[in-house]
Amino acid sequence: MSADNYNNTPKASHLKFATTAVMILAVMMLIVVVSITPPIKPVDAQNSTAKTKLNAISNLFIAGKSYPLKYNMTIGKLLGLVQDKNKSTLIAIISTPSDKGTLTIELPRNIIDDKGQSNADAKYTIHVDGKDATFRETSNNPNSRTLAIDFNKDARMIEIIGTQASQQQ
């Protein structure tokens, strides 16, 4: 065996060992990452809006008293809420500079509601900038109803029209 062959053989085996060690380490790291990553849960597309978190609050003032209303906007800002109790209407003033969006808002029944015959829930009338709007009722319980209201770019005012508005003094 020549000196060249002798010197090359240990280097090749060291390289093979190092490559194997790196591969084993990579597999172990992958196992750790996979084991600590939470599973991905499928989303039910039909009920996805019902799961929207209402993570913001806007205060509605009625007769000097503040009533917090929960809401979420996909884009833009809710600048304020005003109630016109004579028309059973809640008006949301919004700023939407760049794109379409959705305002999801929880409406306490003691603030505004829409009732039909036999005191059954009826469908609200919704206008965005004076025109009929597309919306969905995503939640309904004895204390509140939640609406997801779609609006277009540059929308300024959303009117939620019911049959009953708070008469609180």
- Which residue ranges make up each domain of the chain? 1-41, 46-165
Cα 17 off chain centre by:
52
Residue 21's pLDDT is 60
Residue 32's pLDDT is 47
Average pLDDT over residues 144-169: 89
Q: What is the pLDDT of residues 50-86, one digit of tens each?
A: 456 889 999 999 888 999 999 999 999 999 999 987 8
Is the pLDDT assigned to residue 155 strictly greater than 80?
yes
Contact 136, 148 (CB under 8 A): yes
Is the pLDDT assigned to residue 4 strictly greater than 90?
no
Is the pLDDT assigned to residue 3 strictly greater than 60?
no
Residue 39's pLDDT is 46
Average pLDDT over residues 98-123: 93
Is the pLDDT assigned to residue 15 strictly greater than 50?
yes
Distance CA 159, CA 132 (A): 10
Is the pLDDT assigned to residue 26 strictly greater than 70?
no
Characterize the bridge pairing of strands 101-108 and 144-151: antiparallel
Q: Around Cβ 129, how many Cβ atoms within 10 Å?
A: 14
Residue 98's pLDDT is 81
Is the pLDDT assigned to residue 33 strictly greater than 50?
no
Distance CA 159, CA 95 (A): 14
- Of 40-54, 73-87, 98-112, the poorest mean pLDDT is in 40-54
Indicate the burial class of 144 (C-beta count within 10 angstroms; 0-12, 13-18, 19 or more).
middle
